[in-house]
Amino acid sequence: MLKRVWIFVAAAMFATAAHANMEEEVRAVFDKYIATQNAHDLKGMRNLLSDSPDLLWISRGKAIWGREAALKSLEERYKGTWRIDVDKKELRVISVSRRVAQVYAPTELTFGDPGVEPARNRLYINLVMVKKPEGWQIVSILPILVLPQ
């Protein structure tokens, strides 16, 4: 009986450690995503986004499908003001499976065309990542606008 208890305890500790490791990995990739966005680094974004026609980014109420289309859209936005600030205290990583994670991040997006006073919007970024052989990659970015209250 005692042996079974120890096996259960060891399995629970392993599962907890694996989840903590996954969360750390996903947070690190998300931090890199934010830094890369704020640096207007298209090459860096290419490495973070999944090379799939099924990559989905909802932006300005429209669906953008595929990595190349997302990069083209970002290239235009990077010409002006584009900055994301994350409320890291509220950021959460949700484990969907061992290889799929969702990130929920309250943010403030500052954006605007060149030469125009930038606007600021509060957003809840919902981002899904999949662990591939080359590491965690973003497969969807679904921002939700937070209306002023």
CA distances (Å), origin 92, targets 14, 22, 100, 101, 120 = 21, 12, 14, 10, 22
Residue 91's pLDDT is what? 97
**Total of domains in the chain:** 1
Residue 60's pLDDT is what? 87
Which 3 state secondary structure label does DSSP give 49? Answer: strand
Residue 17's pLDDT is what? 43
Residue 1's pLDDT is what? 61
Which structural domain range is residue 95 located in? 2-145
78 close to 41: Cβ distance less than 8 angstroms: no
What's the CATH number where 63 sits? 3.10.450.50
50 close to 69: Cβ distance less than 8 angstroms: no
Mean pLDDT by 10-residue block, N- to C-terminus, for the chain (149 residues)? 50 46 96 98 98 95 96 96 96 96 98 94 97 96 92
pTM of the model: 0.84
